[in-house]
Structure 1
Amino acid sequence: MIAPAEQRIPFVFDSPHSGRSYPADFLAASRLDERAIRRSEDTFVDELFLSVVRLGAPLMRANFPRAWLDVNREPYELDPGMFDGVLPPYANVRSMRVAGGLGTIARVVSENVEIYDRPLPVDAALERIESVYKPYHDRLAGLLEATRRRFGFAVLVDCHSMPSSVRSAPGRMRADFVLGDRYGASCAPEIADVAATILSRLGYTVARNKPYAGGHITEHYGRPAEGIHALQIEINRALYMNERSLQPNAGFAQVVADLAIFARELSEMPDGGLWPMPLAAE
């Protein structure tokens, strides 16, 4: 986590898929090379949002890669076919995400490319969850609760990136940004409305909830009735990086500058009287 000297705004930013530190034993167990294994990574998303720390908001970011452990899943969304041994009875083995190979311990990277060439020991998977997944969520939950206590409410902005084209329809390009609020369930509508307005004014195309309505983090932490709001933001990778070489492109600096404006203007909502009155009630 990168924290400001003092938290000045009721926002917490989170980048759970931008980790780029790949354990050596994980790479050794993978059938993929060091570039192919990164296809699921939200490369540079943490760097795109660094300005929020100067603004006075903490930025949670994973240093471990999504392909190794995905904290935007339930803690035990696990595919029994991946493991040598028996999963605990409380594991969720039937979720749509498990079926797609993208559970807590992923079976594939994007484009359905298999990661492993042999089953993993069950104990190794459970150790990742106990030693990394749970501490990550403990820290995030603590940040949100501390923010809510201090300001009366908290807003989590869950930051991600997405491929520029639709895999099932080659040549069809995605919007520049997709905002996900679980179809209105995870945050007050004013938050998503203002976020979309800011991005549109900056010249970007914005979609809402399709194809990304928000994952486990948005769904789990977004409890507007309790004063905790969660909004997922997906950034089209072509805006800021070369998707083949995984290097920044000419648009990188502009996206960084625009996201600084976005975060500042979104954080000014309370002063503009745009928050519903119940948000500040304790």
Structure 2
Amino acid sequence: MATVPTVITGDGETPAFELFEPAVPTTPLVFCSPHSGRHYPRSLTDLSKLDARTIRRSEDLFVDELFGFAPEIGAPLIAANFPRAFLDVNREPYELDQAMFTGRLPDYANTGSLRVAGGLGTIPKIVAEDTEIYRARLDVEEGLERVEVFYRSFHEALGALIARTKAAFGMAILIDCHSMPSTVRALPSGRRPDVVIGDRYGTSAAARLVAMATSGFSGLGYDVMRNKPYAGGFITERYGKPSIGQHAIQIEISRSLYSDEAELRPHQGFATVRSELRQIFTQMAFDVEREYLRPLAAE
């Protein structure tokens, strides 16, 4: 893997992201946690008008730790250390809001997307649903540097990881790991699910793989929805190409199941959720081996 850039925080330097790999990969599952970073760069905090607690409202709280079992079941995990409030790698590289910057963005920037309009572009304007991050506009060069240095290195590492996995097993299955607030907008029925599984409305992964994940959660009593209200973001769309044996599934877990959302800390449910996630994906790895890898090996 290429050199990983570092972020400078109030406590020193830390790698922008980390890759946790098994000694010997045994499954085509690949886990990614793009929004659980909690190392806040000085280049963000020095410009933010938010206190240390409020700025964390967009974190996928401790999702990297929830899925930290990945190497134990033979799969790699890549996790961002920088926070989503600094840079969102689950967006196109240049979904940027011109109003946030001094200086003109390049013509290739996508300034008109719905996500930009909602304040949640590649460099977000807000945390949670409506709380603005910055007290002044950013220098355009600072914004572009975040994309060129941190965004690109993260996706280069993720793309290489998927490519290595596919070369080893003949297929790759990306599990894009997220959490959602317990106050997520209710469905028309008033229902707020425990888990949302996104496959871009059937386009990013084989239906059988999605069924494996869905039945795993449902079998343990989780209330599961598919694609509503989250169908999968840029990562799921970019890397999910079932026609070439490359699949991507987004998993959203309600934060209230394992954390105190107000205090930003795990609660007594954390160990249970982590254990059950390990159970679900251990079974999925077994089923993938039986239904996909053995037939491939026999060809």
Q: 1:264 to 1:82 in 2, by over 3 A?
A: same
User: Is residue 158 of structure 1 aligned with residue 176 of structure 2?
Assistant: yes
Q: Residue 229 of structure 1 aligns with which residue?
A: 247
Amino acid at match of 2:159: A
Q: Residue 208 of structure 2 aligns with which residue?
A: 190
Q: Is the 8 A contact 1:164 1:173 kept in 2?
A: no
Distance in structure 2 (CA, Å) of the matches to 1:259 and 1:235: 10
Q: What's the offset of the Cα at 1:280?
A: 7.7
Q: Residue 259 of structure 2 aligns with which residue?
A: 241
- Write out per-residue CA displacement over residues 211-255 of structure 1, whole angstroms, 9 at most, x where no aligned residue: 000000000000000110000000000000001000111111100
SS in 2 for 1:166: coil
- Write out per-residue CA displacement over residues 187-217 of structure 1, whole angstroms, 9 at most, x where no aligned residue: 0000111111011111111000000000000
Q: Is the 8 A contact 1:166 1:173 kept in 2?
A: no
Q: Residue 67 of structure 1 aligns with which residue?
A: 85
SS in 2 for 1:233: strand
Distance in structure 2 (CA, Å) of the matches to 1:107 and 1:270: 40
Distance in structure 2 (CA, Å) of the matches to 1:198 and 1:274: 18
Amino acid at match of 1:59: L
Distance in structure 2 (CA, Å) of the matches to 1:276 and 1:137: 30
Alignment equivalent of 1:262, drawn from 273, 277, 280: 280
Amino acid at match of 2:252: E
Amino acid at match of 2:75: A
Alignment equivalent of 1:53, drawn from 71, 90, 96: 71
Distance in structure 1 (CA, Å) of the matches to 2:126 and 2:191: 23
Which runs of 5 or more structure 1 residues have no equivalent in the other structure? none
Distance in structure 1 (CA, Å) of the matches to 2:160 and 2:180: 28
Alignment equivalent of 1:36, drawn from 54, 60, 68: 54
Q: 1:11 to 1:168 in 2, by over 3 A?
A: closer
Q: Is the 8 A contact 2:186 2:192 kept in 1?
A: no
Amino acid at match of 1:40: S
Q: What's the offset of the Cα at 1:263?
A: 1.1
What is the RMSD computed on CA atoms of the aligned residues?
Answer: 1.8
Q: What's the offset of the Cα at 1:177?
A: 0.5
Which runs of 5 or more structure 2 residues have no equivalent in the other structure? 1-18
Q: Residue 27 of structure 1 aligns with which residue?
A: 45
| Residue-pair matches, total | 279
Distance in structure 2 (CA, Å) of the matches to 1:264 and 1:217: 23
SS in 2 for 1:183: coil
Q: Residue 217 of structure 2 aligns with which residue?
A: 199
Amino acid at match of 1:264: T
Q: Is the 8 A contact 1:190 1:274 kept in 2?
A: no
- Tell me the TM-score normalised to structure 1 length: 0.95
Distance in structure 1 (CA, Å) of the matches to 2:148 and 2:231: 27
Amino acid at match of 2:243: A
Alignment equivalent of 1:113, drawn from 122, 125, 131: 131
SS in 2 for 1:273: helix
Distance in structure 1 (CA, Å) of the matches to 2:73 and 2:181: 28
Moved over 6 A (4+): 274-277, 279-282
Alignment equivalent of 1:133, drawn from 135, 142, 151: 151
Amino acid at match of 2:239: Y
User: Is residue 84 of structure 1 aligned with residue 111 of structure 2?
Assistant: no
Q: 1:223 to 1:255 in 2, by over 3 A?
A: same
Alignment equivalent of 2:228, drawn from 210, 213, 218: 210
Q: Is the 8 A contact 2:20 2:76 kept in 1?
A: yes
Distance in structure 2 (CA, Å) of the matches to 1:280 and 1:134: 35
Distance in structure 2 (CA, Å) of the matches to 1:12 and 1:153: 11
Q: What's the offset of the Cα at 1:174?
A: 2.0
Q: Residue 194 of structure 2 aligns with which residue?
A: 176
- Tell me the TM-score normalised to structure 2 length: 0.90
Q: Is the 8 A contact 1:111 1:167 kept in 2?
A: no
Q: Is the 8 A contact 1:159 1:232 kept in 2?
A: yes
SS in 1 for 2:78: strand
